Amino acid sequence: MEVSWGSITLVDAEKRLLANALLDFSNERFVLLSESCIPVFNFPTVYEYLINSEQSFVESYNIDTPQSAGRYNRRMAPHILPEQWRKGSEWFELNRELAVRVVADYKYYSIFRKHCRPSCYPDEHYIPTYLHLFHGSLNANRTITWVDWSRGGPHPARYGAGNINVDFIKAIRNNGTQCLYNSKHTSVCYLFARKFAPSALGPLMNLTSTVLDF
């Protein structure tokens, strides 16, 4: 299907991906990543982290900025109120129960289709808001994809071949962040990272047998 950046078609694509993945009854966890994402742990570690988690991982917050609360459309009331509005990373992880709920929802999806238009971006608001409204206790309210916004601007830092080495991967793993996992504090908060250029692939492949342990 054709999609366009910043439009409801991105949510359409997310729902279609989830719906197709749900057809395989052995699938229990569903992760959305981009072509510029990489794993920062090996697959057994990622699997154990996700399959044993009591919650899903969808970033969901509301702060008084033009990029967050400022995107709320008053026409969404009374179904979605300003204090219920949420924003988050479009790269998410859902368990099977929540994936089914997201795919099945039409009422709130239709509100976003009608009223969330640029500069409101549905892929950054629909799932975070929907989960906050109905399934907040099942969501950890955080992302498992590391990203570097330290350079400022509308887009995160992008890393290429010259940035990739053992210390860089270890720095992402051990970046000083603390989070909750099954109600316990942990320093393992990110399983994936972005944003990486195609030129990073070769150096990353050279690390697969060492730091990434693939």
pLDDT over 90 percentage in the chain: 84
The tokens for 57 are 């991982």
How many domains would you assign to the chain?
Answer: 1
pLDDT in tens, 6-55: 899 999 999 999 999 999 999 999 999 999 999 999 999 999 999 999 99
Asked if residue 201 belongs to a domain, the reply is: yes
Asked if residue 156 belongs to a domain, the reply is: yes
pLDDT of residue 214: 62
Q: For residue 56, which of 85, 38, 30, 79 has the smallest C-alpha distance?
A: 30
Q: What is the pLDDT confidence band of residue 65, given thresholds at 50, 70 and 90?
A: confident
Asked if residue 213 belongs to a domain, the reply is: no
Asked if residue 211 belongs to a domain, the reply is: no
Q: Which domain holds residue 34?
A: 9-206
Overall average pLDDT of the 88-108 stretch: 97
Q: Say what angle helices 96-104 and 9-22 make with each other, to 10 degrees.
A: 130
Asked if residue 2 belongs to a domain, the reply is: no
Asked if residue 214 belongs to a domain, the reply is: no
Asked if residue 1 belongs to a domain, the reply is: no
Round to whole Å and give the CA distance between 72 and 120.
7
Round to whole Å and give the CA distance between 123 and 102.
12
Asked if residue 46 belongs to a domain, the reply is: yes
Overall average pLDDT of the 112-140 stretch: 96
Pairing between strand 93-95 and 29-31?
A: antiparallel
